[in-house]
Amino acid sequence: MTNPFLIALFIAFAVGTVAMAAVLAWLVMAYLALKHDYQRLSERVSSTHNDLAGLCSAALAVDRRMDTADGQLKRLSETLAGLPEHRPNGQPDHPYRSVIQKVRGGANVNELMQSAGLSHDEAALLIRLHGSKTSS
């Protein structure tokens, strides 16, 4: 005859083994899910790192351009400071001054295009900005 204690021990061992196998299967699935998440996050961090490196590179290029433009502006400012003044009140003559005077005198788009070499859009804009205001 078999001992009931041994049968109970065998059943407990079998149940424990099945439970441990189930826990092991769950742990393997959880590990694989975490590994997949880690790979996705690693790819995102790498992509973000590449984006940041590109932004830094672009910022350096913009900084160099700004330095170049700043130097050009300083040279132009010095050049303009050395030019003689054209107007009696000390302000330099505006390039559109004569055109604006023609507009105020009643010149139309075609006259401005022919006399000042303006495009149609430029002439129309100057007439809208500086022409006489007629009430409707």
Mean of the pLDDT values across residues 4-16?
Answer: 93
The predicted pLDDT at position 55 comes to 94
- CA gap 61, 105 in Å, rounded: 48
In this predicted model, what pLDDT tens digit does every residue of 74-108 receive, in sequence order? Answer: 888 888 877 765 455 555 566 778 888 888 888 89
Q: What percent of the chain has pLDDT over 70?
A: 88
Task: State whether the Cα torsion 117-122-123-127 is positive or negative.
Answer: negative
Q: How confident is the model at residue 136 (pLDDT cuts 50, 70, 90)?
A: very low
Q: Is the pLDDT of residue 11 over 80?
A: yes
The predicted pLDDT at position 81 comes to 78
Domain definitions of the chain by residue range: 1-83, 93-136
Return the residue matching tokens 């804009």.
125
The predicted pLDDT at position 80 comes to 80
The predicted pLDDT at position 53 comes to 93
Helices 109-116, 97-104: axis angle to 10 degrees equals 150
- E strands along the chain, which residues? none
- Any residues with CB less than 8 A from the CB of 98 and at least 6 apart, and which? 116
Which SS3 state, helix, strand or coil, does residue 105 take?
coil
**Residues composing the chain:** 136
Where is average pLDDT lowest: 5-9, 20-24, 74-78?
A: 74-78
Range list of H helices, 83-108: 97-104
Helices 97-104, 120-130: axis angle to 10 degrees equals 60
Mean of the pLDDT values across residues 106-130?
Answer: 89
